[in-house]
Chain A
Amino acid sequence: MRTFKIGGVHPHDNKIYSAHQSITECPLPQKAIIPLVQHIGAPAQAIVEKGQKVKVGELIAKAGGFVSANVHSPVSGTVNKIDTTIDAWGMKMPAVFIDVEGDEWMEGIDRSADVIHECTLEPKEIVDKIAAAGIVGLGGACFPTQVKLLPPPGKTAEVLIVNGVECEPYLTCDHQLILEHGEEIVVGIQILMKALGINRAIIGIENNKPDAIARMKELTAKVLGVEVMPLRLKYPQGGEKQLIDACIGRQVPSGALPIEVGAVVDNVATIYAVYEAVQKNMPLISRVMTVTGKHVAKPGNYKVRFGTPLTEVVAMAGGVPEDTGKIIGGGPMMGRAMNNIDMPANKRVSGLLFLPEDECRRVEPENCIRCGKCVAACPMGLEPYLLSRQAELKMWDEMEQHNVMDCIECGCCLFTCPSHRPLLDYVRMGKATVGGIIRNRQAAAKAAAEAKK
């Protein structure tokens, strides 16, 4: 069985709490707050006004740039105001506040459960439809999907890699999506293959989900060019570059995009959203979230409309366990610990994880014993012990020379460190600083080149 070649760790997957819990719809909130930054890149520009009536699926904000995405109203009602709201990390973000009235949908959106297999659209039309629906990568990076479907000149896509790995411990939303909506996902894969003009797709699924592998194999048995590839369990297999390495044995060079080796990677949740958008005219207004944790009363997978306060999602799962010490948006390896949960659900949050207080505190760091376990664990072949020290000493140039920009922030180094050193904390800070230095340098070079002209 295949896996990626360099590094990796084996965290306990803890998926038993919410695995095989069927997807439950979360009730509509009374007031919805829809953030305008639900993707990387520039914020979307609101096009609605205070007091305006909106329907479910209506466009309320337009993409604010090339790497940006449309935002649609996930509820029907009246726009209360367009203001800033505080996110779970205490930072301000622009948002549209809507008072919910009923559940009135835009015309043309097909809400039936029938699976539509045929797609007669041209590739260009498919891409336009995806862009209009505001679809972003739901695996965590929130990169607008249509950008990936338009390879830069000179590059051609050869293979679509479908990310059904879900290597983050605890999370089960993608797993459940494959089990419940496998058929739609296969149609979505075919649509994307058509859009890219390719005839090969690989679905990567880790072998801790044998039922998902079996389901996809069954569904793709008669579909030409689509292959299901079981992968050996190892974190971070769901990382874009690691998955490409595992599936087709090609390594994306430093600083390049997957298209460099002819691959386009999309998460199963994204592909499901593509299916919904192309075949059913459904913009991206909801997602499946995992709410889980050792002491959560009803852990499960919940389909949540964006804008629903996370407190309501938590209420569905039985409330906040009393011994909670940390609430994480996402999985335990790459998810962000939250300040509070007074935040609306959005495209970025793939799960809520409640960790008991006695399990989530970090251990006091000791001296580095130079065991090299972080070097062995790093899936990008970096030297985390060195980079973290350089970041502490503000040696930005040296960090750049030691390829800090290749770091994918997967957390393997900190996970594995026997001295409990905060390696990734420093590497991440260094990466942010070095990234800024590089951008400044490029901007200066550009300005100099223009001045020469």
Chain B
Amino acid sequence: MKLIEQKKFETDMKNLIVSPAPHAHSGDSVRKNMLLVIACLLPALAVSLIAFGWGALITTAISIVACVATEWLIAKFVLKQRPTICDCSAVLTGLLLAFNLPSALPWWIVVIGAVVAIAVGKMTFGGLGQNPFNPALVGRVFLLISFPVQMTTWPRPLGFETSYVDAATGATPLATLKQIVKGGDTGLIDQLPDLWDSFTGMIGGSLGEVSAIALLIGGIVLIACRVITWHIPVSILGTVALFAACTAPAGMCCGEYVAYSLLAGGMMLGAFFMATDYVTSPMTGWAKIIFGIGIGLIVMVIRTWGAYPEGMSFAILIMNATVPLLNKIRPRRFGEVVKK
């Protein structure tokens, strides 16, 4: 290392940088967090590729490209901001949206969903960090209401043999479960897919939500990397398990019903990846637990008594609306006396 002589220092040295303390940073960034979440979603994408074939990959690619393009166009031409696509949040939104769609959805519906997710769900509020609702879910629910038929046409998982346009469709385990619970049709229990298939992802359903095991691994990695905390997933899954245990239909083993409730539908995807979205979830521990319990209750109420077989999207969106209120819950201050 070359050194400046003492005398020279006083006259020649370039201006020093001055800023308030601290002068160190953890090196964490929005981009890093987003990329980690994306990485943790990849195992689930791999499983859906196996289950649904290339259609899964095509839908995902369309969704991501449409989301990023929408964000770039709006930031550049409407809001006239510095485009924020480098933070990868639009990529994540696109990926999550695709995970919530059937793999054989026509491409133009995917594009509509992506545009609604980013344009309506995110950019109207001012971009990243300002949106009250999870953008991917806004897009998904918009599509679910606008295109109910296409959105509930689930291709059967057949592995790589299937082509993109897949005619073979079937009911999701949740739809079957609903008929059992609501209709009291216990004869349908035999038609439920094998529990192991539900665990690994060889069932009908949205593109990325089918493989509980892949999502679980991703979620645990996220918690281990401290990208998310345990509060929301644990409270959601705990509430759902407890609720299911109490309301198991006649003719079905309690444990079996709990297992189906946890594994089927968007439960794992929602609990680990959608509900824990930074922007639309509360900040402190207790608020996160309340948030999770709320989602768990609403989803089970919809599943048990509602019109839809699945309620994860609605539950998360409804609880998103309570986040400003939940953020009023203060963290415990240092030295605060606990009132008894």
* A adjacent to B, CB under 8 Å: yes
Cβ-defined contact, B16 with A324, below 8 A: yes
> In the complex, which of the residues B4, B128, B281, B333 has the most CB atoms of chain A within 10 Å of its own CB atom?
B333
Question: Quick check: A337 and B22 within 8 Å, CB to CB?
Answer: no
User: Which stretch in B28-36, B95-103, B109-117 binds the other chain?
Assistant: B28-36
Binary contact readout A319-346 vs B (1 if CB under 8 angstroms, 0 otherwise): 1111111111000111111111010000
Cβ-defined contact, B22 with A340, below 8 A: no
Given the complex, which residues of B lie within 8 Å of A6, measured CB to CB? 331-332, 334
Contact in complex: B22, A406 (CB < 8 Å): no
Q: Does B149 contact A (CB under 8 A)?
A: no
What are the residues of chain B within 8 A of A424 when measuring CB–CB? 20-22
Q: Mark B8-22, 1 if CB is under 8 A from A, else 0.
A: 011001001111111
- Cβ A253 vs Cβ B20 within 8 A: no
Taken together as a complex, chains A and B put the C-alpha atoms of A355 and B126 apart, in Å, by 36
Asked whether, in the complex, the Cβ of B17 is within 8 Å of the Cβ of A361, the reply is yes
Q: How far is the CB of A363 from chain B (nearest CB, A)?
A: 7
Interface presence of A123 (CB below 8 A): no
A360 near B30 (CB under 8 angstroms)? Answer: no
Give chain B nearest CB distance to A343 CB in angstroms: 12
Asked if A369 contacts B30 (CB within 8 A), the reply is yes
- Complex Cα spacing A385 to B282, Å: 13
Q: Are B20 and A425 in contact (CB under 8 A)?
A: yes
Measured between beta carbons, the chain B residues less than 8 angstroms from A357 are 17
Q: How far is the CA of A379 from the CA of B335 in the complex (A)?
A: 11
Q: B121 → chain A, closest Cβ, in Å?
A: 15
A253 engages B337 (CB within 8 Å): yes
Contacts of B249 in A (CB 8 A): none
* Interface flag for B2 (CB, 8 Å): yes
Contacts of A416 in B (CB 8 A): 26, 28
Flag if A360 contacts B20 (CB, 8 Å): no
Q: Are A362 and B3 in contact (CB under 8 A)?
A: no
CA distance A361 to B334 in the complex (A): 32
A315 within 8 A of B: yes
Verify B19–A383 contact, CB threshold 8 A.
no
Q: Given A367-B129, A370-B283, A251–B21 Cβ distance below 8 Å?
A: no
A419 at the interface (CB under 8 A from B): yes
Contact residues in B for A417 (Cβ distance below 8 Å): 28
Check if A450 is an interface residue, CB within 8 A of chain B: no
Partner of B3, one of A311, A320, A337, A419: A320
Summed over the interface, the residue pairs from A and B with CB atoms below 8 Å come to a total of: 179
Bound together, the chains give a CA A327 to CA B18 distance in angstroms of 8
Query: Is B9's CB under 8 angstroms from A320's CB?
Result: yes
A321 near B335 with CB under 8 A, answer: no
Q: Tell yes or no: B162 within 8 A of A by CB.
A: no
The answer on a CB contact under 8 Å between B335 and A252 is yes
- Report yes or no: A326 in contact with B18, Cβ–Cβ below 8 A: yes
Smallest CB gap from A90: residue in B = B18
A169→B128 CA distance, assembly (Å): 33
Q: Please measure, in the bound complex, the distance between the C-alpha atom of A355 and the C-alpha atom of B332, giving whole angstroms.
A: 36
Closest to A366 in B: B30
Q: Is B289 an interface residue (CB 8 A)?
A: no
CB <8 Å contact, B22 and A414? yes
Contact A254 B21 (CB under 8 A): no
Name the B residues within 8 Å of A381 (CB-CB): 330-334, 336
Chain B nearest CB from A55 CB (Å) reads 29
Does A72 count as interface, using CB distance less than 8 angstroms?
A: no
Q: Does B87 contact A (CB under 8 A)?
A: yes
Q: How far is the CA of A362 from the CA of B20 in the complex (A)?
A: 10
Task: State whether A337 touches B25 (Cβ < 8 A).
Answer: no
A253 touches B335 (CB 8 A): yes
Is the CB–CB distance between B6 and A319 below 8 Å?
yes
Complex formed: what's the CA distance from A375 to B28 in Å? 15
Q: Is B145 an interface residue when CB atoms closer than 8 A count as contact? A: no
Task: Report chain B residues within 8 Å CB of A327.
Answer: 16
Asked if B322 is at the interface of the complex by the 8 Å CB criterion, the answer is: no
Within 8 A of A (CB), among B114-151: 126-130
Interchain CB contact under 8 A, A403 and B333: yes
Indicate if the CB atoms of A169 and B4 lie closer than 8 Å.
Answer: no
Map CB proximity to B onto A367-410 as digits: 1 under 8 Å, 0 otherwise: 11111110110111111010000000000000000110010011
Once the chains bind, are A326 and B21 in contact (CB under 8 Å)? no
Contacts A315-B6, A322-B3, A418-B28 given; does A367 touch B130 at CB 8 Å: yes
Interface presence of A295 (CB below 8 A): yes
Contact B331 A383 (CB under 8 A): yes
Whether, in the assembled complex, B1 has its beta carbon less than 8 Å from a beta carbon of chain A, the answer is: yes
* Closest beta carbon of chain A to B251's beta carbon, Å: 44
Enumerate chain A residues within 8 angstroms of B282, measured Cβ to Cβ.
372
Interface flags, B278-295, vs A, CB<8A=1, else 0:
110111100000000000
Assess whether A335 is in contact with B3, with CB atoms less than 8 Å apart.
Answer: no
Partner pick for B278 among A254, A370, A376, CB 8 A cutoff: A370
Q: B333, A337: Cβ atoms under 8 Å?
A: no
The 9 closest A-B pairs by CB, nearest first: A372-B283, A411-B22, A367-B129, A251-B335, A371-B278, A381-B333, A319-B3, A332-B24, A418-B28
**A-B contacts, 16 listed (Cβ < 8 Å):** A245-B334, A251-B334, A253-B337, A254-B333, A320-B4, A322-B2, A322-B4, A333-B22, A342-B10, A367-B84, A371-B33, A375-B331, A381-B331, A406-B334, A411-B22, A414-B25
